[in-house]
Structure 1
Amino acid sequence: MTEKEKMLDGKIYDPSDSELAELRINAHKLSKLYNDTFDDEADKRAEILDKLLPNKGEGVNLQGPIYFDYGVFTTVGKNFFANFNLTVLDTCPVTIGDDVFIGPNGSILTPKHPLCHEDRNVYKKADGRITDKEYGAPITIGDNCWLAGNVTVLAGAKIGAGCVIGAGSVVTGEIPPNSFAYGNPCRVVRKITEQDRLIYKKDLF
């Protein structure tokens, strides 16, 4: 297996691999270019996103600044919106469904690191390059989800369709569809039901 194949499969891999380094540099450059554009430069932003996120649907709107580790390993559905400071470390596949909203400072983090420092610390390879041992797990966010501000989604997490994740939550496991969940670690508080529709919120009108 190549180091890229190991990484995407959740196995221990060498992040100093030249193919991975080139992909990261490209994504970091494209992220910086995007961050240097403004809201009224829609065509320029779209051109950058086509390169950074080749696996995206129509209507993707990222407020910026954004930070992607690879970009090419993230799949985004249509009508995706993320507010300021979206960070996606896609060392393993990240899959985001249609009509997903993410508030400011959202973090989607697939990497893991060994708990023992003997395994975690950097070391020098025979060729002189500095590296470490890393691995990860994929993340999936279903259709029609809203992740409020400062939500962090960790490696291996799965958020079912129609969920709302409260501000400041840390999602570590699986959240069933149509759940209102929050906390650290994030836990389901209750189901989202028809009674949550705006037609029942007379005081808001």
Structure 2
Amino acid sequence: MQSFNSLDKTLLALRKQTGEICRLFNKSPSKGNLKRIKELFDQCGEGVIIESGFHCDYGNQITLGDRSFININCTVLDAPISEGAITIGDDCLIGPNVQLLAVSHAVNPSLRRNKENFAAPIIIGNNVWIGAGAIILAGVSIGDNSVIGAGSVVTKNVEADTVAAGNPAREIRTL
């Protein structure tokens, strides 16, 4: 994980700007406001649908594949550095109230006092379904065609063609 200071004035301004774009979209999820959200991203595929309640911190390290669907109240804590990138493949289904958290804090109390954030990428493969209320933590990869059960907390990588669920999430079966 790489660190960055989210209290840096440039990053505070960028988060404020991104937050305003998200706020406008959530207040009025029009095509114009959705276009502004998509323009934040590093890359956004064709046929992507994002429902209202979407929030991200920066957006510039988010990549969304074609035909992916993000349901209501999705929180994406991305980082302004490449180590905090979030990649969502093609044909993914992201359930309501899902959290993708590529950013974390130090466990060591003296390091945490410095307000440094740590980031590690999240990679979600193609044709993945993430159930309602799931939380995906920094540094996790989820393989193609996998399913993450509702309410799961994913702390470790999930292989392709796998159903994983629980807290912490574990493999339930292969597909």
TM-score by length of 1: 0.79
Fraction of identical pairs, as percent: 36
Q: Does 1:16 align with 2:4?
A: no
SS in 2 for 1:46: helix
Residue 93 (structure 1) aligned with residue 81 (structure 2) = no
Gap runs ≥5 in structure 1? 1-9, 123-131, 193-205
Q: Secondary structure at the match of 1:181?
A: strand
Counterpart contact for 1:73–1:93, Cα < 8 Å: yes
Give the equivalent residue in structure 2 for 1:6.
none
Of the candidates 37, 46, 51, which is equivalent to residue 58 of structure 1? 46
Q: Find runs of 4+ consecutive structure 1 residues off by over 3 angstroms.
A: none
Native 8 Å contact 1:59 1:79 kept in 2: yes
Q: What is the CA–CA distance in structure 1 between the aligned matches of 2:66 and 2:74, rounded to whole Å?
A: 17
Alignment of 1:1-205 (within 5 A): 10-38=1-29, 41=30, 43-91=31-79, 92-121=84-113, 132-192=115-175
Whether the 8 Å contact between 1:37 and 1:44 is mirrored in structure 2 is no
Q: Secondary structure at the match of 1:28?
A: helix
For residues 181-201 of structure 1, give each alpha carbon's deviation from its aligned partner in whole angstroms, at most 9, with x where no partner exists: 101111111111xxxxxxxxx
SS, match of residue 75 in structure 1: strand
How many residue pairs are counted as aligned between the two chains?
171
Deviation at 1:52, TM superposition (A): 2.4
Distance in 1 of aligned mates of 2:28 and 2:40: 14
Q: What do you get for the CA RMSD once the two structures are aligned?
A: 1.3
> AA paired with 1:64?
S
SS, match of residue 12 in structure 1: strand
For structure 2, the 5+ residue unaligned runs are none
Using the size of structure 2 for normalisation, the TM-score is 0.92
Computing the radius of gyration from Cα coordinates, the structure with the larger value is 1
Q: Is the 8 A contact 1:70 1:90 kept in 2?
A: yes
The answer on whether the counterparts of 1:33 and 1:48 sit within 8 Å (CA) in structure 2 is no
Q: What SS does the aligned partner of 1:65 have?
A: coil
One-letter identity of the residue aligned with 1:174: N
Offset at residue 166 of structure 1 (A)? 0.5
Q: 2: distance between equivalents of 1:45 and 1:13?
A: 29
Separation (CA, whole Å) in 2 of partners of 1:45 and 1:162: 31
Q: 2:23 and 2:34 mapped to 1: Cα distance?
A: 14
